[in-house]
Amino acid sequence: MTTLRLVLVLAFVSLPLLAERVVELRARTSHHYDARALPERLGEHRLIREQELVDDVATMLAPASYTMRLYADDRDSSFWLYFAIYSGSGSTGAHDPAVCYPAQGWDTSAPSESELTSEDGERIVVKSMQAALGGREERVLYWFQPAARWPTSAPREQILRMLDGLAGRAQYGFVRLSTQIDPSSEAARREADARLAAIALELGPSVRRAVTEDSIPPQP
């Protein structure tokens, strides 16, 4: 019995390491990722400009590809879109806004998880939160987009991400939509949440295609 317990403990401890090793072994092909392959119009909003990350932030996050964009419509309604793609086989990764916003001095609400349903019945699980800094208030909607499927709720998503890696689909994208609330009111927050949700549904298929690009032969 003691021997059996020891074997089970060792197997449990070794499983994450084994999974990581399998993911590395499967990452023998390189992928062409283009985070900029997104629509220049989303609803009534059009692309106004793209902005580069500052060098130290880009080095820290180290995405395979990314874009940070400002969209606006004719009524002066605007939002920021940040989209980054990661291969999933390295040690770097996207930072959860629930962590990185407070690290930059923002006061945030606890993220709430919700399900968006497209016209064809597809469901995407996203998170939303409120962030405030120096009189400025934002509503933030974000999700982590796996390859070849839509994200589900935690903790099921964590298990599926591990299985994706074992199957050779370790890559994922991170999407963050944010819009400023001015003036601040509950009605304005509800309107902003509805607007970001509609944009997320329209944007989702393009994000998924970008993350699931076909493999190309590795460079010599």
Alpha-carbon gap, residue 183 to 179, rounded angstroms: 12
Lowest mean pLDDT among 18-27, 153-162, 190-199: 18-27
Residue 154 has pLDDT above 50, yes or no: yes
Lowest mean pLDDT among 13-27, 63-77, 85-99: 13-27
DSSP summary character for residue 154: T
Amino acid at 97: P
For the stretch 179-215, pLDDT in tens is: 999 888 999 999 999 999 999 999 999 999 999 875 4
CB atoms within 10 A of CB 68: 16
Q: Where are the alpha helices (DSSP H) in 62-185?
A: 97-103, 156-166
Specify the pLDDT at position 16.
45
Specify the pLDDT at position 89.
75
Predicted model pTM: 0.83
The percent of residues above 70 in pLDDT, for the chain, comes to 81
Q: Closest by alpha carbon to 178, among 170, 164, 189, 163?
A: 189
C-alpha distance from residue 101 to each of 98, 109, 129, 149, 175 (Å)? 6, 10, 10, 27, 15
Helix/strand/coil for 77: coil
